[in-house]
Structure formats: structure tokens, C-alpha cells
Structure 1
Amino acid sequence: MPMIPEAVIAMLASARLGALHSLVFGGFASKELATRINHAEPKVIVSANCAIEPGRVINYKPLLDKAIELSDFKVPSCIIYNRDYEKFTPASMVPGRDKCYQDEMASAQPHDCVPVSATDPLYLLYTSGTTGMPKAVVRPSGGHAVVLNWSMYNIYGMHPHETWFAASDLGWVVGHSYIVYAPLFHCNTTVLYEGKPVGTPGPSAYYRIITDHKVAGMFAAPTSIRAVRREDPNGEAGKDFKFPHFRYLFLAGEYCDHETMEYAETHFRVPCLDNWWQTETGSAITSTCVGLGTDLRPPPGVAGRSVPGWNVKVLSSEDKSEAEVETLGHIVVKLPLPPSAFSTLWNNEEGFKKLYFSTFPGYYDTMDAGFRDAQGNIAITARVDDVINVAGHRLSTGQLEEAMLEHGAVAEAAVIPIPDKLKGHVPLGFYVLKAGTFIDEDQLEREIVMAVREHVGPVASFRSAIAIRKLPKTRSGKVARRTMSSMITRTPYSIPVTIEDASVYAHLEEVLRQKGYDPLPPSS
């Protein structure tokens, strides 16, 4: 569904009936949607004919039809909302399966709320690693409601009846928790925005929304502030707007550099506070808790302190002891988890136990790395596994590599993250051609980029693929992605002793220089 009221209505209607909902971000391609349909096996899919992007309209219905065609599970019923505007094309309806949202609403009858247990699931939300067995986070109903209601004042300083604006998408966990459920639990007006920080129509969009709707608190991703800064470096777009009701700007979803933080505080004229959480947790693990009287000027680069209920530890990856202050380590949470956290993975209880709780017994493994400062603040510096965070969207390298391999000429592929001023990181692909294949590299790069776009979607921001002779691999067959990334980011590194053919690094250096990079050679 696009970012329209009917999407929220569908979520709340499902909850009222005691049924689970599972929202999918509109930027995904049909193949990714089909994977989720196969796994969740929904009885009903609610969608719309189209969504609006800057300068274009995306027709959703053909994407949905293709996904259902690709899926082994055949959805028995779809409800399609046709947005009525001269630029919008009405959806073509499949007889016997598709029903018109407007027609169904016109003939619908009220239904009482269906009681469920506090431990019953409210929704499924898919997170990274959708190739193979998908990861669908299961959110229990009761505890989630309690924590979200508590958080609106204690973390975000919001009073009932004030206006709150979470500038996210309903298909991500922030959209679930802080566009829909938390503000409504807490009697706050919530702003639903179909648009971008720039381009709809310009960099004044956030200022306009804050002013027009008397927003008191706002939640955004750092990449959205970077987009505003890119187009409006001097903050001219916000100078004519007055927003005396606005008190706090909260950021989360990715690492926030101090330049972006300072720009936001200067031009939005309020404290700008970072916080850290995950799809699995449902709400903040660390934050500057405004309602608890926390200092509103934390040091730059940190994401606040542990939120009540979260016993956060930084452990050494080597011996699993508690790391010293300011020392990089593996971030974990001592069990038990608070009631907002996920209860399992849908249809994958064993995977739930193995993935999150086996590496550090007695702890939830966040799979993030960082450190604790002397004041007890937590800084998140990197993802432990190979997940690329593109503008707050977590994408697995395996997912992107699998899409590259859809091209018939590609024998092997590897994807690494490279820094990007706007999105934080973007993926860069490397590929090895099948033997005896001769094809123009520029043409092949375009075709590989299109393959990733088709199988993963534009959310990946995948734009570059580089041909190389051989990937750096260990003798066990694992690709040494971290050293490849270090070459480009010029982070000191050594060639691992387990690399099968060390000469490949000299080849990589040569190719990267030809492509305009300035790679760092390995240390001796």
C-alpha cells in the first residue's frame, strides 16, 4: 500500500479482527513480494492501483499481479483501492479474486473488536535476509501496546493531544510503531506523509508540515536530513517558517554523522537526538529519554543510554568478556527482553533461537558493533554481519549477489558497502564472468544493474558493477568482503592468511584505479 489513510485503516481493521497483518514496502520488486507471499500465505492482500514518487507514478497492481503469478501460494482474495485522480490509471481487476475497496466499504457492516491474548501476534514484519528462509519478526500484542504507549512521553517527551510526525514508511518498523500504534495509543495526532524530504516539491517539505500541523515532535532517518542539506546547504528553505510548538527532532535507522546532526539542530532549531533500535525490538534500545529528564546535549556520535528494560552490554568478540570503555565490541542485551521485543520468527522457532541467542548464551545478539563511553552512552559503529544499510533500509549482500547471478553471463558475484554522503552506504558489486563469455562491460553493467532492480527493487540503490578476474576467497570458499571494502574506504587491513590466492588483491587494486577509485594496498 502507498502512504495513504487506507493503509492505516487496513492495519487497524486487521488488529480489530484479531488477524495478523504484514506490510511490504512499495519499493520492492515482484520477486521479493512473491517470497513474502509464499512464506506468510495471506488469505487477503490489500493494495492500491498506484503510489506517488517525485516526478512519477508507480503502478502497484501490475507488480502485485506478477508477484502472485510467481508465488506458489495463490492468494484467494485481493482488495484493491483505486485512487481517483486524472493521472492515475485504474487497476485491472482479476474476476473472482479482486474486489474494489470502495465497493466493499460501501456495503460493509461494523464488527466488534475480537479479544486476543496479550501474547498473540499483532503483525509479521520481514527483515533482512529474505533469500532462502525469510525472517518474519512476530510482534506480541499486549506488551507492544504497553511499551509504545509508555515511550511516547518517557522517551519522546510527547503529551497527549499533541501532534507527532514520524517521517518513515508504513512498511518499516518505525512506520508500524510510530506512525500508527504508539501515537494513537497515547492520544496523539499522527501525520501520514506521502512524499519525500525533497522533490515534493522542495527542501521545505518538513518545515511546512511542522508549521501547518503544529508538530511537537518528529522522528526521521539521518538520510532524509542529508537530502535536505544537499539541496539547501544554508537552510534558506526553513527561514520563513515559524514553529514554536516544535520541541524535539529524533533520528534513527542508521549512523548519524555529526555534520548532519549539527545541520538539523541549527535549521530545525530544536535538540536533535539519536536513538538506536531494530525491527526485532519494536522500539528504542538506547535513546536520550526526554521524559525521564536526560541531558538533551549528549556527545556527538552516540545513540543515548539504555532505555529502561534493556540491559545493554558491549562484549569482546574474542573472549565474550565485557569490553572496556571506548573499546569496540559486540553489542548484546542481557535476557529477559522487555515486552516490546519480538517473540519468535514466523514458522522458524529453531532459527529464532539459533540466530539470536546461541552466539552469546544468556543474551540477545543484536549483531551490531560499537562501544560504550565513560558516561554510559552507546555508540553504534557497524553491523557485525554482511548487511548493507542503504538510507536506513537493511539489505543483505547475499540477496543482492543472488540478483546479480540472475544474469546468465555472471559466474560469481560479491557486494560490499561503500560510503555515500546521502544514503550512508550504497552497494558496489563485483562479478566474475563465466569462462568463454565475451560481452561489452558497459552493456553488461547496465544489464546487471537492471537485474538487481528487477529482483530486489529500487530500494537497493544498486548502480555499479565491476568486472574482475577472480574474487578474494578463503580456502573454505568464503568471500573476503571486509578486505574489499577496506581497500575502497582506505581502512588499514592485512590479507587474511586463509586467502587461497593472495595475488588477487593486486588485481583488485589495478581494476579499482581504472574505475576511478583510490584503493589502499594491504599492509605488509
Structure 2
Amino acid sequence: RDAFWREQAALIHWQRAFKQVLDYSRPPFARWFVGGETNLCHNAIDRHLAARAEQKALVWISTEVNETRSFTYRELHAEVNRTAAMMQSLGVKRGERVIIYMPMIPEAAFAMLACARLGAIHSVVFGGFAAASLAARIDDARPALMITADGGSRMGKPVLYKSLVDESLKVAKHPPRKVLMFRRGLDPKMPVVADRDVDWATLAQDFTGASVACAWLESNEPSYILYTSGTTGQPKGVQRDVGGYAVALASSMKYIFCGEPGETMFTTSDIGWVVGHSYIIYAPLLAGMTTIMYEGVPIRPDAGIWWQIVQDHKVSVMFSAPTAIRVLKKHDVSFLRKHDLSSLKHLFLAGEPLDEPTHQWIAESLGRPVIDHYWQTETGWPLLSAQPAVEKTPIKLGSPSFPVYGYDVRLLHEQTGRPVPDGEKGVVAIAPPLPPGCMSTVWGDDERFVNTYFRDFKGELIYSTFDWGIRDKDGYYYILGRTDDVINVAGHRLGTREIEEAVNMHPNVAECAVVGVVDPLKGQMPLAFAVLKDGGKPTSAEDVMRTVDRKLGAIARPKAVHFVSLLPKTRSGKTLRRAIQALAEGRDPGDLTTIEDPTALTQIREALRS
């Protein structure tokens, strides 16, 4: 193991060589590349200036405000230096936290990279998060500075941030000293708080041409905190290191994503999520690629916009989510086929389990390998994936293939903790030490890190992903959904994702959500909510139930199938199953700050009443 990771470590620049590959003297805490000093910003930008200063580094495309801006490595270097100097002038020091509450605009990328340059710890909070959620994250991180904008935009409608920012800072017990505010012109009447709010453009004028040296950080110092969504109570800040993360990302670009220097990568995520951190900002730049940052949705101005970007920018590596592909599947395939996609090597999908029909549709439509892969905020980079540069393995529909190098993946029985045989469902777990790139701890709470992730299997420190998986006889893994998405129907344990997969097999179902609801007779029963591909085509609940009967047997038949025009989802595309379940059981749906479209819940309520 040490020899392998020592080899991978050569993919990045070390200002000071590390003394030890791995220090695992305090399980389950792993310290990688001990004593080595490096900097994420230097590796992402500065070290490429000699060879590719005039190559595009960042291309920003917004279909929300119909604007495109691009920056070469030289221009990005200048912008990041200027932003770092602005932050220094506002008192930000190495090791201090900076909350970035920004839409998908280039300035958000400058701010993240400037934090890395200074050795400040960024915590990006998804733009548009509710004030109370933002305040909780502020109080946990205790930032010196907050960087924000007057607003984002969604489907052409402005989403204004300032009232949310002001409200969160009133509620927070540890508000930052200063707020750096980028004005996009979306909120002309925006109120300003004297002595606290600083205008980005005004301050930037003072630092044109500024040069700020990179802070050389010991490999295990924190690079950033990213709060995981859906946690109740105290927010859970995933803390990442510097050196291990840089090495893992650089290695993943080489062996998994196959991104070469000078090529272009298009990741359709948001910087508020881990995919945006790893594969919009850091990894493509570490690899000397051009990265595309997209503000918009996949179907506006039409369902061909992403494929047009692939064509126009000769994208070779694309990364998206199953949800987005399911949205595109409802539209005519001609939107995809009319573009020249010859530059595209492959499409990677992650974020939730990929169902077979969607995998088949996109693979056939593109005529390119579509690689499902699986990971988490906590791991920072893929855990299960095909690794095309290591070995070209056949793709199985709906499977994220195999464990990635560096991960000792186990499938364990949830009660005994023993390995389960092939073909049997188990909890996907990782025997520590976790490889480079994974979370180091929970910010400010080592005990919580151990108790949350390593205490599921008695007597042994094993990391639990909280996901069910199954491995077939060829060694391919399939993810069946969260361990809390299992329902017990008359003593039979069924994964709601398995039932969803069966419902999705109906030819007129575009997507669905299945939740377990309390049933006086059977303990629990599945309830399905389905979105039809063609609402004009007669489709009955009975039709859908028969499809489930054929796939899984009558035991998995939903109690009812309700048809809706959209499912409640977070802005990152995850279906809010817990909220649906709460409504179905007559409970309060809880914190809905991340919901994309509140009318989706209204439809669920009405469907339940009918």
C-alpha cells in the first residue's frame, strides 16, 4: 500500500517531501503523507503556468443570464491572487474559516482557490440555503469572513440572497466580522450594512495585479469543511485534508476519468456539493484540463443545451447525475443526436443509484461508455467505479462496477457484521484506514466522527456507508439504497430502491419514488409516486402494479400508485423520500430548505387525499 501511494504522490508538487506515507497509529484516524508540505492552489494553477499559461482553465456558461466568460490559466492565476489579496485585506489568516455562499459564478471559484492559496479553510454553503441552516453552519465553522452575492438564478428567475444572509447573521451566535458581496445586478435595491458589508468590485480595484504567495501546508492540515445535507440537529462538517486529497484527485483523473492535460471536462454539478468541489474546481485543474462551470438547468433553453456545450467546447470527459438523465429521458432523443459528440470519451454518472432503463437509454443514445460510479461527500472521490485506464472491463447496466484501488470494501450482514455471500444484500463498508482523499474527521468533533461512521459493527472499527449493496458472481457491485430505506412487509425486508427499479420498468414511467408507510396489517407497505413520460397515454395504477408483480412478485406490490407531474427533490437532484414518507404517514415533513420546487409536495399531499 505504501509503495502504491508513494507512486501516486509523485503526481503533485511537494514543496517539502513527506517523511511517512501513512501514520495509522490512532485508528480510525489516518494521516497521509506526513510532514509533506504542499498547496492545492499551487497544484491547480501555478505549476501549469510554464506549459499552459494561455490554455483556457475555466469556462463559465450561464443559460440563466445568457453570458459566457472564460479564463486562461494566466488570467485565473491573476484573479485568484487578487481575490486572495482582497481576503487578506479583510483580515483573513491561515487556518481561519471562510463561508462561501455563492451561485455558480466564476467569483465562487476564485474565492475557493484563494482560500486554498492562503491556507484558509473554505466552507461552501449551497446558494439559496435557508437562513436557519446557514446560521447553524456559521456557528459550527465560526468564520472570519463570508463571501456572497446579491443572488443566483433558477429557470430565469432571480433567487435573492441578501435577506437570507442578513437574517442568518442576526440569528448566528458567531457571525463573521465582514461580508464580501459580489453584485450581479440581480438585486438593485439590495440593503447594505455599514462597517460589515464590503463591495467586491470596489475592493477589487485596489488589488489589480496583486501577488500573494502560496501558504505551504502540512499534508494533514484542513483544506475545507463541507456540511452534509439531511442531518438533524447540529450540522455535520466533513473535514478534508490537503495532501491526501490532492493525490487522490490527481490519481482519479488519470486512472478513472482518463482526463488528459489540455482536454476539457464538463461536470454538471454545483460547487455547493462535493462533486463540484472535487470535479468542477480541483481535479480538472490539477490535471491541467479546461473545466466548464455551468449555471443553468439541463432543459433550458431546450433539452439539447448540455450536448451543445459538449460539441462547442469539445468536451472529452463529462460527469452528471442519474436524476438529470431521467429528466432528459422525458425529451426527444433528437436533442442529443443533432450534436457532434465525437470528442466525448465517456459519461460518468453518480449521486444516487442509476436504474437500468435510464442507464440503457443514455448509453444507447450516446453510443459512448456510460460509467455509473458511487461515492459520498465523506469519501471525496469514487469508491466504486470502472477504472478504464487500469483495465477496460465490460459495463453492466445499473452497476458501479468494482471497488476503486485504495479502498478495502466489504459487504457485511447488518446484524452479525460478517461478510455476506455473493447475491446477498449487505451493508457497504470499508475496512480502515480510509484511503487518501477521504474525510479526516468531523470538524471540531473527533468523537462524532468515530461514533457516526465506525460504530455500526460491534467489536470492530469498520466504516459504514449506510448503503445497502449486493455483489454478483462476477464481482460487480450494485447499490440498493440507504440502509434506512428498507421496509418490512409482513416479515419480508424490501429495499424501496428495488421497488422503484421495478416501477421504472413500466414503459410509460419516467421516474418514481417509493416509500414505506405504516400498515396495521403488514407492518409496512410500499407506496409509489410516479411521473409519466407521456401524461396523455392512458396508464393505470393496476398496470404499474402488474409490472412490479412480474419483476419482484406480489409481496413488493405497492399499496397504491399515485401519478404526479414532478417529484420533490433537493436542488442537487436527490429525491426527498423522507418528506414524502412523512406526508404519507401524516407527519411533519421537517426541514425543506433544500427543496427545488415546493409545488411538488403540494402534489403529493393532493395525491394522498384523492
TM over 0.5: yes
Q: 1:261 to 1:465 in 2, by over 3 A?
A: closer
- The CA deviation at 1:417 is 9.1
Instruction: Give distance in 2, aligned partners of 1:56 and 1:221.
Output: 23
Q: 1:57 to 1:347 in 2, by over 3 A?
A: same
Secondary structure in structure 2 of the residue aligned to 1:262: helix
Write the deviation string for residues 33-91 of structure 1: whole angstroms up to 9, x where unpaired: 1111111111101011111111311111111111111212222110000014xx55363
Secondary structure in structure 1 of the residue aligned to 2:389: helix
Instruction: Give distance in 2, aligned partners of 1:35 and 1:217.
Output: 36
The letter for the 2-side match of 1:212 is D
Q: How does 1:187-206 map to 2 (within 5 A)?
A: 187-198=288-299, 200-206=300-306
Q: Aligned to 2:368, which of 264, 270, 275?
A: 270
Query: Are the counterparts in 1 of residues 128 and 161 from structure 2 also a CA contact under 8 Å?
Result: no
1:338 correspondence with 2:439: no
Equivalence for 1:173:
274
Equivalence for 1:244:
342
Q: 1:457 to 1:28 in 2, by over 3 A?
A: farther
Q: Aligned to 1:32, which of 106, 129, 133?
A: 133
Query: Are the counterparts in 2 of residues 31 and 456 from structure 1 also a CA contact under 8 Å?
Result: no
Equivalence for 1:353:
450
Equivalence for 2:323:
223
- The CA deviation at 1:462 is 6.0
The letter for the 2-side match of 1:347 is G
1:283 correspondence with 2:381: yes
Secondary structure in structure 1 of the residue aligned to 2:328: helix
The range that moved more, 417-426 or 248-257, is 417-426
Q: Aligned to 1:328, which of 388, 408, 425?
A: 425
Equivalence for 1:362:
461
Write the deviation string for residues 414-458 of structure 1: whole angstroms up to 9, x where unpaired: xx996555767443154699xxxxxxx9xxx9xx78x855x5554
In structure 1, stretches of 5+ residues that fail to align are 390-396, 398-415, 434-440, 468-510, 517-524
Instruction: Give distance in 1, aligned partners of 2:485 and 2:527.
Output: 9
What is the alpha-carbon root mean square deviation over aligned residues? 2.9
Q: Aligned to 2:601, which of 443, 463, 482?
A: 463
Equivalence for 1:476:
none
Write the deviation string for residues 335-394 of structure 1: whole angstroms up to 9, x where unpaired: 1110111110011111101111122323211111111111111111010136999xxxxx
Secondary structure in structure 2 of the residue aligned to 1:382: strand
Q: How does 1:56-71 map to 2 (within 5 A)?
A: 56-71=157-172
Instruction: Give distance in 1, aligned partners of 2:214 and 2:421.
Output: 51
1:208 correspondence with 2:308: yes
Secondary structure in structure 1 of the residue aligned to 2:218: coil
Query: Are the counterparts in 2 of residues 370 and 379 from structure 1 also a CA contact under 8 Å?
Result: yes
TM-score (structure 2 length as normaliser):
0.66
Instruction: Give distance in 2, aligned partners of 1:429 and 1:258.
Output: 24
Instruction: Give distance in 2, aligned partners of 1:417 and 1:3.
Output: 36
Instruction: Give distance in 1, aligned partners of 2:150 and 2:157.
Output: 14
The letter for the 1-side match of 2:214 is C
Instruction: Give distance in 2, aligned partners of 1:457 and 1:228.
Output: 20
Q: Aligned to 1:97, which of 185, 196, 200?
A: 196
- The CA deviation at 1:318 is 2.5
Q: 1:432 to 1:327 in 2, by over 3 A?
A: closer
Instruction: Give distance in 2, aligned partners of 1:259 and 1:25.
Output: 31
Instruction: Give distance in 1, aligned partners of 2:461 and 2:250.
Output: 28
Query: Are the counterparts in 2 of residues 82 and 91 from structure 1 also a CA contact under 8 Å?
Result: no
1:306 correspondence with 2:403: yes
The letter for the 2-side match of 1:150 is S
Write the deviation string for residues 64-119 of structure 1: whole angstroms up to 9, x where unpaired: 111111212222110000014xx553632211000011112111232111111100
Secondary structure in structure 2 of the residue aligned to 1:351: helix
Instruction: Give distance in 1, aligned partners of 2:444 and 2:527.
Output: 31
Instruction: Give distance in 2, aligned partners of 1:69 and 1:418.
Output: 41
Instruction: Give distance in 2, aligned partners of 1:63 and 1:126.
Output: 18
Instruction: Give distance in 2, aligned partners of 1:339 and 1:26.
Output: 29
Secondary structure in structure 1 of the residue aligned to 2:469: strand
Equivalence for 2:149:
48
Equivalence for 2:415:
318
The letter for the 2-side match of 1:158 is G
- The CA deviation at 1:315 is 0.7
Q: 1:425 to 1:48 in 2, by over 3 A?
A: closer
Equivalence for 1:481:
none
In structure 2, stretches of 5+ residues that fail to align are 1-101, 487-495, 498-514, 516-525, 532-566, 568-572
Equivalence for 1:428:
580
Secondary structure in structure 2 of the residue aligned to 1:193: strand
Equivalence for 1:261:
359
- The CA deviation at 1:128 is 3.2
Secondary structure in structure 2 of the residue aligned to 1:285: coil
The range that moved more, 185-194 or 316-325, is 316-325
Q: Aligned to 2:477, which of 374, 378, 403?
A: 378
Secondary structure in structure 1 of the residue aligned to 2:348: strand
The letter for the 1-side match of 2:415 is E
Query: Are the counterparts in 1 of residues 267 and 292 from structure 2 also a CA contact under 8 Å?
Result: yes
Query: Are the counterparts in 1 of residues 266 and 319 from structure 2 also a CA contact under 8 Å?
Result: yes
Instruction: Give distance in 2, aligned partners of 1:459 and 1:134.
Output: 23
Sequence identity (%)? 35
TM-score (structure 1 length as normaliser):
0.76
Q: 1:418 to 1:189 in 2, by over 3 A?
A: farther
1:73 correspondence with 2:167: no
Equivalence for 2:609:
515
Instruction: Give distance in 2, aligned partners of 1:293 and 1:239.
Output: 29
Q: Aligned to 1:111, which of 202, 212, 215?
A: 212
The letter for the 2-side match of 1:134 is P
Instruction: Give distance in 2, aligned partners of 1:432 and 1:128.
Output: 22
Instruction: Give distance in 1, aligned partners of 2:591 and 2:233.
Output: 17
Query: Are the counterparts in 2 of residues 137 and 345 from structure 1 also a CA contact under 8 Å?
Result: yes
Q: 1:461 to 1:118 in 2, by over 3 A?
A: farther
- The CA deviation at 1:459 is 7.2
Q: 1:257 to 1:187 in 2, by over 3 A?
A: same
Instruction: Give distance in 2, aligned partners of 1:417 and 1:15.
Output: 46
How many residues are paired up? 429
Secondary structure in structure 2 of the residue aligned to 1:35: helix
Write the deviation string for residues 2-40 of structure 1: whole angstroms up to 9, x where unpaired: 101100000000000000000011242111111111111
